[in-house]
């Protein structure tokens, strides 16, 4: 999150955090990676899930937990190509919407 802090200090309106490349953490590991966004910056954060590039897919359950725990995580760029999953995320996260 140090780059997000630097971006915020430089005047960025928001930050995007991508699922880590190549190291393939567990879903709990992914949650812990994004947990620091909870207080590291005050700007909104978007999580970019692009499994074809990173080799790791953040599950809908994990993403929902992150959003519930980190109030500044306000969006996801969901690049799985799975329309049903996108619909599930919309349904499950509509109650947590802050945008």
Q: How far is 45 from 36, CA to CA, in rounded Å? A: 11
Is residue 63 within 8 Å of residue 91, measured between CB atoms? no
Q: Which residues are catalytic?
A: 48, 77
Q: Is 7 exposed, middle or buried (0-12, 13-18, 19+ CB in 10 A)?
A: middle
Q: How far is 69 from 50, CA to CA, in rounded Å? A: 22
Question: Which pLDDT score, from 0 to 100, does residue 33 have?
Answer: 78
Question: Which pLDDT score, from 0 to 100, does residue 97 have?
Answer: 52
The Cβ of residue 17 has, within 10 Å, a number of other Cβ atoms equal to 18
Question: Which pLDDT score, from 0 to 100, does residue 24 have?
Answer: 81
Taking only the tens of pLDDT, the chain with its 99 residues reads: 678 888 889 999 998 988 887 778 888 988 887 766 556 788 898 999 999 888 889 999 999 998 888 888 888 899 999 999 999 999 998 865 554
Residue 49 DSSP label: E
Residue 14 DSSP label: -
């Amino acid at each position: 999150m140090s780059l997000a802090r630097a971006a915020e200090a430089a005047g960025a309106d928001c930050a995007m955090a991508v699922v880590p490349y190549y190291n393939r953490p567990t879903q709990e590991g992914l949650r812990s990676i994004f947990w620091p966004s909870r207080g590291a910056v005050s700007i909104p954060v978007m999580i970019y899930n692009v499994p074809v590039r990173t080799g790791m897919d953040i599950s809908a359950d994990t993403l929902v937990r992150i959003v519930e725990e980190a109030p500044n995580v306000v969006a996801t760029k969901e690049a799985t190509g799975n329309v049903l999953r996108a619909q599930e995320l919309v349904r499950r996260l509509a109650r947590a919407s802050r945008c």
